[in-house]
Amino acid sequence: MARSAAWVIGLEIAALGLAYLGFGWPVLLVGIPVLFATALVLLAVTLSERPRRRLAEARAARYEVPAVPGGLMSGFFEVPAPREAGAWTELDTRDGDRTRA
């Protein structure tokens, strides 16, 4: 946030200096109040950002869900373990009879 604010103020000062070189002192009648207004807006945004960040952190801590081991897609691409010899399965049917695998 501070870097963005510094860029905004710096570019505004550069634009004000360029306008002063091009048009003279009347530019300062508008430019200086605009520069102060921008600084006040950035100050207000910075001050209002701190309580908002604390509130967001408090909400995140309140509704924190414990992590699932392995993540969202864990087990999705795993190859199933081979069946044990002698296990009964539904696929091992012959003419309606179950047989041993």
pLDDT in tens, 65-81: 666 666 666 666 666 67
Cα 1 from chain centroid?
15
Q: Residue range 50-71: average pLDDT?
A: 76
What are the structure tokens assigned to 76, written together? Answer: 């999705």
CA 32 – CA 90 distance, rounded (Å): 83
CA 47 – CA 39 distance, rounded (Å): 12
Looking at residue 93, what DSSP letter applies?
E
pLDDT of residue 27: 92
